[in-house]
Structure 1
């Protein structure tokens, strides 16, 4: 009992210190171009930091994974987690999306493939990202079950080189991730000519999950502020040129 009381006092002390310093601990997973350099940079990291800074709050990013992220936000070791926590979790607080992921299929323009719907993936060699079947749902899973080759690669930066080497007929990834990696590899002009994008998926909203509603509300005020003053668009443009 003595140790439990001591632990409780320590937790309260940490919370007060963090609240006094107005700093939130945010867990993020590596996800170029949204989370880069150990979480310190990236579209999502910059948006989160800018939104909170507009409300007088500092941000400390911790590189994490989905399981650890959810656990530490729930137990109070962290204040929020980006994109890795199920949004139907009743113990946490969500509101406005930080950003929308726009998944696309990408093919080599020279192949002249026509993909107007997910069902057209059947019979093709598909290179996807981790957990694509879960993220994109039953229709995608059914289509790729009839593909001649299907693989999910851990590093999305390897998808375009694999496509360039004809190891697949198409890759599936977020549109901004494609822009980021393709411009690194080939430059903007060459990329436009080399690749064709097929918009066959609906956008997916990615949210920040908080352990209390006051923190969530403060972030949402900041998010609205940077959307209105142009900072949000400037952050996205700085990474993708859009």
Structure 2
């Protein structure tokens, strides 16, 4: 009886989306999102979870702030790399991936950063919506910062740091390292950097406009974790 019920739920969700749901991803941020190739650790996990639920999706790439506005307006069906504290009303999935953010500075500047509170003394640039996603303590610190910005393009933050135009970059270590290699022909990326470990992991979720689609995604996510698909995807990106 339970198997029959689950089958009908699956059929119902699939039928409700005869047209593939439009899922919003942020701009290029390897190794999580390779925008042009429409692949990456995050893209593959999301796609595999939907596939396990019997749902084909259509990908939409845009800056995070625009994606949140589009979700609120009902222009897209879901957005990845988000959390409840983003401020957008949505049905949030189980956590599907964790990022590890750091405060990153040029070692030569000898910045004394031991907690998020210390960021109040420095100019800081971070990813879009970081002021909401990273919590109240971070938000309070950057309100006192002599200069705080959020960038849609990840590589821009690396450039600002290496050019000495900002004291601290806040972001995921793997993304930062990738773009440091990417911009090596534009700035001196041989400069040593310090990764200040002051943030807990950020456990990202998918925000949905529809509860049934959220529930189907959660079932698919559980499936790929149980059958080894999730682990195989992670292994492909170990080098990063």
Q: Note whether the superposition's TM-score is higher than 0.5.
A: yes
Q: Does 1:176 align with 2:162?
A: no
Task: Report the counterpart of residue 167 of structure 1 in structure 2.
Answer: 165
Q: TM-score, normalized by length of structure 2?
A: 0.72
Task: Report the counterpart of residue 57 of structure 2 in structure 1.
Answer: 59
Encode CA deviations 1:15-40: one digit per residue, 9 max, x unaligned: 95843x7x433233325133342693
Comparing 144-153 and 172-181, the one that deviates more: 144-153
Task: Report the counterpart of residue 93 of structure 1 in structure 2.
Answer: 91
Encode CA deviations 1:130-154: one digit per residue, 9 max, x unaligned: 3333333443243334444433333
Does structure 2 conserve the Cα–Cα contact (< 8 Å) formed by 1:123 and 1:147?
yes
Could you say which structure has the higher helix fraction? 1
Unmatched 5+ residue regions in structure 2? 1-13
Measured in 1, the distance between the counterparts of 2:43 and 2:88 equals: 25
Give the secondary structure class of the aligned counterpart of 2:133. helix
Task: Report the counterpart of residue 11 of structure 2 in structure 1.
Answer: none
Q: Does 1:71 align with 2:68?
A: no
Task: Report the counterpart of residue 152 of structure 1 in structure 2.
Answer: 150
Task: Report the counterpart of residue 24 of structure 1 in structure 2.
Answer: 21
Measured in 1, the distance between the counterparts of 2:239 and 2:127 equals: 23
Does structure 1 conserve the Cα–Cα contact (< 8 Å) formed by 2:27 and 2:153?
no
Q: CA RMSD of the aligned region, Å?
A: 3.4
Measured in 2, the distance between the counterparts of 1:234 and 1:86 equals: 28
Give the secondary structure class of the aligned counterpart of 2:54. coil
Q: TM-score, normalized by length of structure 1?
A: 0.72
Higher Rg of the two aligned structures: 1
- 1:230 shift after superposition: 4.2
- How many residue pairs match? The answer is 219
Unmatched 5+ residue regions in structure 1? 1-14
Encode CA deviations 1:184-212: one digit per residue, 9 max, x unaligned: 345xxx97982221121222222112344
